[in-house]
Amino acid sequence: MIQFEQVNKQYPNGYHALKNINAVIEQGEFVAIIGLSGAGKSTLLRCINRMHHITDGSLKVNDVEISELRGRQIRRLRRNIGMIFQSFNLVTRMSVIKNVLVAFVPEMPWWRKLLGIFTKEEKKQALMALDRVGILDKAFVRVDQLSGGQQQRVALARTLAQNPSIILADEPVASLDPVTAHQVMNDFKNINEQLNMTILINIHHVDLALAYASRVIGIRAGEIVFDGTAEEVNEQILHHIYNGKLEEGGLGEHAEQTAAEKHYTA
Protein backbone atom coordinates (compact mmCIF):
# COMPACT_ATOMS: atom_id res chain seq x y z
CA MET A 1 0.00 0.00 0.00
CA ILE A 2 1.18 3.51 -0.80
CA GLN A 3 -0.16 6.33 1.39
CA PHE A 4 0.30 10.01 0.67
CA GLU A 5 -0.78 12.32 3.48
CA GLN A 6 -0.55 16.06 2.93
CA VAL A 7 2.58 15.61 0.85
CA ASN A 8 4.33 18.70 -0.48
CA LYS A 9 7.40 18.82 -2.64
CA GLN A 10 9.40 21.95 -3.25
CA TYR A 11 12.49 21.83 -5.44
CA PRO A 12 15.63 23.56 -4.14
CA ASN A 13 14.89 26.53 -6.41
CA GLY A 14 11.64 27.02 -4.49
CA TYR A 15 9.31 25.60 -7.15
CA HIS A 16 6.31 24.02 -5.44
CA ALA A 17 5.84 20.89 -7.59
CA LEU A 18 3.43 18.89 -5.36
CA LYS A 19 0.79 20.55 -3.23
CA ASN A 20 -1.03 18.79 -0.41
CA ILE A 21 -1.20 15.36 -2.04
CA ASN A 22 -3.53 12.88 -0.34
CA ALA A 23 -4.07 9.41 -1.78
CA VAL A 24 -4.07 5.76 -0.78
CA ILE A 25 -3.12 3.17 -3.36
CA GLU A 26 -3.86 -0.40 -2.35
CA GLN A 27 -1.73 -3.38 -3.32
CA GLY A 28 -2.69 -4.63 -6.78
CA GLU A 29 -4.17 -1.41 -8.17
CA PHE A 30 -3.39 -0.23 -11.70
CA VAL A 31 -3.28 3.56 -11.57
CA ALA A 32 -2.70 5.97 -14.44
CA ILE A 33 -1.47 9.45 -13.57
CA ILE A 34 -2.48 12.01 -16.15
CA GLY A 35 -2.09 15.75 -16.55
CA LEU A 36 -0.41 18.43 -18.61
CA SER A 37 3.33 18.47 -19.13
CA GLY A 38 4.89 20.00 -16.02
CA ALA A 39 1.88 19.18 -13.82
CA GLY A 40 4.01 17.09 -11.44
CA LYS A 41 3.42 13.49 -12.61
CA SER A 42 7.10 12.45 -12.64
CA THR A 43 7.75 14.21 -9.36
CA LEU A 44 4.89 12.30 -7.72
CA LEU A 45 6.15 8.97 -9.05
CA ARG A 46 9.77 9.62 -8.13
CA CYS A 47 8.94 10.55 -4.54
CA ILE A 48 7.66 6.99 -4.03
CA ASN A 49 11.06 5.37 -4.57
CA ARG A 50 13.00 8.25 -3.00
CA MET A 51 14.50 9.47 -6.27
CA HIS A 52 13.04 12.75 -4.96
CA HIS A 53 12.53 13.75 -1.33
CA ILE A 54 9.23 15.12 -0.14
CA THR A 55 9.42 18.46 1.64
CA ASP A 56 6.70 17.74 4.17
CA GLY A 57 3.81 15.43 4.88
CA SER A 58 3.89 11.66 5.16
CA LEU A 59 4.57 9.12 2.44
CA LYS A 60 4.37 5.48 3.47
CA VAL A 61 5.09 2.39 1.40
CA ASN A 62 3.76 -0.77 3.05
CA ASP A 63 3.41 1.15 6.31
CA VAL A 64 7.02 2.37 6.30
CA GLU A 65 7.59 6.13 6.39
CA ILE A 66 10.02 6.39 3.52
CA SER A 67 11.41 9.84 4.28
CA GLU A 68 13.01 8.30 7.39
CA LEU A 69 14.92 5.63 5.46
CA ARG A 70 18.68 5.83 5.08
CA GLY A 71 21.37 4.07 3.00
CA ARG A 72 20.74 0.33 2.98
CA GLN A 73 17.06 0.81 3.86
CA ILE A 74 16.58 2.95 0.74
CA ARG A 75 18.23 0.24 -1.36
CA ARG A 76 15.85 -2.31 0.18
CA LEU A 77 12.88 -0.05 -0.62
CA ARG A 78 14.05 0.20 -4.23
CA ARG A 79 14.37 -3.58 -4.52
CA ASN A 80 10.67 -3.72 -3.83
CA ILE A 81 9.80 -0.97 -6.32
CA GLY A 82 10.59 -1.54 -9.98
CA MET A 83 11.05 1.51 -12.18
CA ILE A 84 10.47 1.67 -15.92
CA PHE A 85 11.54 4.69 -17.97
CA GLN A 86 10.60 6.02 -21.38
CA SER A 87 14.17 5.44 -22.57
CA PHE A 88 14.32 1.74 -21.47
CA ASN A 89 17.73 2.18 -19.70
CA LEU A 90 19.29 -0.97 -21.15
CA VAL A 91 22.87 -1.82 -22.08
CA THR A 92 22.20 -2.13 -25.79
CA ARG A 93 25.47 -3.89 -26.67
CA MET A 94 24.68 -6.75 -24.32
CA SER A 95 22.30 -9.66 -24.82
CA VAL A 96 18.73 -9.55 -23.60
CA ILE A 97 19.33 -12.19 -20.92
CA LYS A 98 22.35 -10.32 -19.52
CA ASN A 99 20.26 -7.16 -19.24
CA VAL A 100 17.61 -9.05 -17.30
CA LEU A 101 20.19 -10.73 -15.05
CA VAL A 102 21.36 -7.26 -13.99
CA ALA A 103 18.27 -7.33 -11.73
CA PHE A 104 20.13 -9.74 -9.42
CA VAL A 105 23.39 -7.82 -9.20
CA PRO A 106 22.57 -5.65 -6.14
CA GLU A 107 22.06 -8.73 -3.96
CA MET A 108 25.14 -10.63 -5.10
CA PRO A 109 28.17 -11.17 -2.90
CA TRP A 110 31.08 -9.05 -4.17
CA TRP A 111 33.02 -11.99 -5.60
CA ARG A 112 30.09 -13.08 -7.76
CA LYS A 113 29.64 -9.48 -8.95
CA LEU A 114 33.30 -9.46 -9.90
CA LEU A 115 33.10 -12.72 -11.78
CA GLY A 116 29.65 -12.06 -13.22
CA ILE A 117 28.44 -15.50 -12.13
CA PHE A 118 24.70 -16.07 -11.95
CA THR A 119 23.09 -19.09 -10.33
CA LYS A 120 20.89 -21.55 -12.18
CA GLU A 121 17.89 -20.23 -10.23
CA GLU A 122 18.65 -16.63 -11.27
CA LYS A 123 18.95 -17.66 -14.91
CA LYS A 124 15.66 -19.55 -14.64
CA GLN A 125 13.93 -16.51 -13.13
CA ALA A 126 15.32 -14.25 -15.86
CA LEU A 127 14.06 -16.61 -18.58
CA MET A 128 10.65 -16.86 -16.89
CA ALA A 129 10.40 -13.06 -16.83
CA LEU A 130 11.21 -12.92 -20.54
CA ASP A 131 8.61 -15.59 -21.18
CA ARG A 132 5.99 -13.58 -19.30
CA VAL A 133 6.45 -10.60 -21.61
CA GLY A 134 6.55 -12.81 -24.71
CA ILE A 135 10.17 -12.41 -25.79
CA LEU A 136 11.78 -15.61 -24.54
CA ASP A 137 12.94 -16.32 -28.10
CA LYS A 138 15.04 -13.13 -28.00
CA ALA A 139 16.97 -14.11 -24.85
CA PHE A 140 20.35 -14.38 -26.58
CA VAL A 141 19.89 -11.56 -29.09
CA ARG A 142 21.73 -8.27 -28.56
CA VAL A 143 19.39 -5.55 -27.33
CA ASP A 144 20.36 -3.16 -30.16
CA GLN A 145 18.85 -5.64 -32.60
CA LEU A 146 15.38 -5.32 -31.05
CA SER A 147 12.54 -2.94 -31.81
CA GLY A 148 11.57 -0.21 -29.33
CA GLY A 149 8.61 -2.24 -28.08
CA GLN A 150 10.76 -5.32 -27.57
CA GLN A 151 13.34 -3.23 -25.71
CA GLN A 152 10.65 -1.90 -23.38
CA ARG A 153 9.62 -5.51 -22.76
CA VAL A 154 13.22 -6.36 -21.83
CA ALA A 155 13.11 -3.50 -19.32
CA LEU A 156 9.84 -4.87 -18.00
CA ALA A 157 11.31 -8.39 -17.73
CA ARG A 158 14.31 -7.01 -15.82
CA THR A 159 11.92 -5.33 -13.39
CA LEU A 160 9.86 -8.52 -13.05
CA ALA A 161 12.97 -10.59 -12.32
CA GLN A 162 13.54 -8.30 -9.36
CA ASN A 163 10.08 -9.47 -8.10
CA PRO A 164 8.89 -6.08 -6.82
CA SER A 165 5.47 -5.50 -5.29
CA ILE A 166 5.18 -2.09 -7.00
CA ILE A 167 6.11 -0.99 -10.51
CA LEU A 168 6.46 2.72 -11.31
CA ALA A 169 6.47 3.51 -15.01
CA ASP A 170 7.36 7.00 -16.20
CA GLU A 171 5.96 7.50 -19.71
CA PRO A 172 6.78 3.89 -20.71
CA VAL A 173 5.04 4.05 -24.09
CA ALA A 174 5.80 7.65 -25.10
CA SER A 175 8.39 6.66 -27.68
CA LEU A 176 6.47 3.71 -29.12
CA ASP A 177 4.14 3.53 -32.11
CA PRO A 178 0.42 3.12 -31.33
CA VAL A 179 0.20 -0.65 -31.92
CA THR A 180 3.33 -1.35 -29.86
CA ALA A 181 2.13 1.02 -27.16
CA HIS A 182 -1.03 -1.08 -26.82
CA GLN A 183 1.03 -4.28 -26.61
CA VAL A 184 3.21 -2.89 -23.83
CA MET A 185 0.17 -1.55 -21.94
CA ASN A 186 -1.33 -5.01 -22.26
CA ASP A 187 1.84 -6.47 -20.70
CA PHE A 188 1.43 -4.11 -17.75
CA LYS A 189 -2.21 -5.14 -17.38
CA ASN A 190 -1.38 -8.86 -17.47
CA ILE A 191 1.36 -8.42 -14.90
CA ASN A 192 -0.99 -6.40 -12.71
CA GLU A 193 -3.75 -9.01 -12.92
CA GLN A 194 -1.66 -12.17 -12.76
CA LEU A 195 0.97 -11.15 -10.21
CA ASN A 196 -1.08 -8.62 -8.21
CA MET A 197 1.71 -6.06 -8.56
CA THR A 198 0.70 -2.45 -8.01
CA ILE A 199 1.29 -0.44 -11.18
CA LEU A 200 1.54 3.34 -11.30
CA ILE A 201 2.02 4.73 -14.73
CA ASN A 202 2.54 8.31 -15.93
CA ILE A 203 1.04 8.64 -19.31
CA HIS A 204 0.30 11.38 -21.80
CA HIS A 205 -2.15 9.33 -23.86
CA VAL A 206 -5.50 9.57 -22.14
CA ASP A 207 -7.09 6.88 -24.28
CA LEU A 208 -4.44 4.37 -23.18
CA ALA A 209 -4.86 5.40 -19.56
CA LEU A 210 -8.61 4.84 -19.74
CA ALA A 211 -8.35 1.57 -21.66
CA TYR A 212 -5.91 -0.16 -19.32
CA ALA A 213 -5.85 1.42 -15.87
CA SER A 214 -8.64 0.85 -13.38
CA ARG A 215 -7.99 4.09 -11.50
CA VAL A 216 -7.04 7.49 -12.83
CA ILE A 217 -5.38 10.29 -10.88
CA GLY A 218 -5.47 13.67 -12.59
CA ILE A 219 -2.85 16.23 -11.59
CA ARG A 220 -2.99 19.93 -12.39
CA ALA A 221 -0.26 22.34 -11.27
CA GLY A 222 0.93 19.97 -8.53
CA GLU A 223 -2.52 19.18 -7.12
CA ILE A 224 -4.71 16.11 -7.44
CA VAL A 225 -7.84 17.43 -9.14
CA PHE A 226 -9.39 14.05 -9.97
CA ASP A 227 -9.10 10.61 -8.40
CA GLY A 228 -11.56 7.99 -9.54
CA THR A 229 -12.21 5.01 -11.79
CA ALA A 230 -11.43 5.07 -15.50
CA GLU A 231 -15.18 4.69 -16.18
CA GLU A 232 -15.92 7.92 -14.33
CA VAL A 233 -13.65 10.02 -16.55
CA ASN A 234 -15.61 12.13 -19.01
CA GLU A 235 -14.99 15.17 -21.22
CA GLN A 236 -15.75 17.56 -18.40
CA ILE A 237 -13.28 15.90 -16.04
CA LEU A 238 -10.60 15.86 -18.73
CA HIS A 239 -11.24 19.55 -19.37
CA HIS A 240 -10.73 20.17 -15.67
CA ILE A 241 -7.52 18.09 -15.42
CA TYR A 242 -6.02 19.59 -18.57
CA ASN A 243 -7.27 23.09 -17.89
CA GLY A 244 -8.97 23.04 -21.27
CA LYS A 245 -5.68 22.28 -23.05
CA LEU A 246 -5.75 18.54 -23.72
CA GLU A 247 -2.56 18.10 -25.71
CA GLU A 248 -2.50 16.93 -29.29
CA GLY A 249 -2.08 13.18 -29.33
CA GLY A 250 -3.56 13.04 -25.85
CA LEU A 251 -6.81 11.46 -26.87
CA GLY A 252 -6.26 11.21 -30.58
CA GLU A 253 -3.27 9.23 -31.70
CA HIS A 254 -3.95 5.95 -29.97
CA ALA A 255 -7.71 6.18 -29.99
CA GLU A 256 -7.96 4.69 -33.47
CA GLN A 257 -6.69 1.34 -32.27
CA THR A 258 -9.27 -1.37 -32.45
CA ALA A 259 -10.19 -3.57 -29.54
CA ALA A 260 -8.46 -6.43 -31.34
CA GLU A 261 -5.17 -4.52 -31.47
CA LYS A 262 -5.59 -3.60 -27.84
CA HIS A 263 -5.48 -7.22 -26.80
CA TYR A 264 -2.82 -8.29 -29.26
CA THR A 265 0.05 -9.58 -27.19
CA ALA A 266 2.45 -11.18 -29.68
Binding residues for ligand ATP (CB under 6 A) = 11, 13, 15, 17, 35, 37-43
Q: Give 35 or 149: the residue with its C-beta nearer to ligand ATP.
A: 35
Give the N- to C-terminal CA distance of the chain in Å, as an integer.
32
Min dist CB 204 to ligand ATP, Å, is 6
Nearer to ligand ATP, 21 or 146 (CB): 21
Q: Which residue, 178 or 222, has its beta carbon nearer to ligand ATP?
A: 222
Minimum distance, C-beta of residue 45 to ligand ATP, in the bound complex (Å): 8
Instruction: Closer to ligand ATP by CB, 45 or 185: give it.
Output: 45
For the CB of residue 53, give the shortest distance to ligand ATP in the complex, in Å. Answer: 11
Contact between 90 and 151 under an 8 Å Cβ cutoff? The reply is yes
Q: Among residues 193 and 247, whose Cβ is nearest to ligand ATP?
A: 247
With a CB cutoff of 8 Å and minimum separation 6, the contacts of 258 are: none
Closest approach, Cβ 33 to ligand ATP, in A, equals: 8
- DSSP E strands, 79-231: 81-85, 166-170, 198-202, 215-220, 223-229
Distance from C-alpha of 158 to C-alpha of 209, rounded to nearest angstrom: 23
DSSP 31: E
The CA-atom distances, in angstroms, between 43 and each of 49, 92, 218, 244 are: 11, 27, 14, 22
Least distance (Å) between residue 79 CB and ligand ATP: 24
Could you tell me how far CA 157 lies from the centroid of its own chain?
13
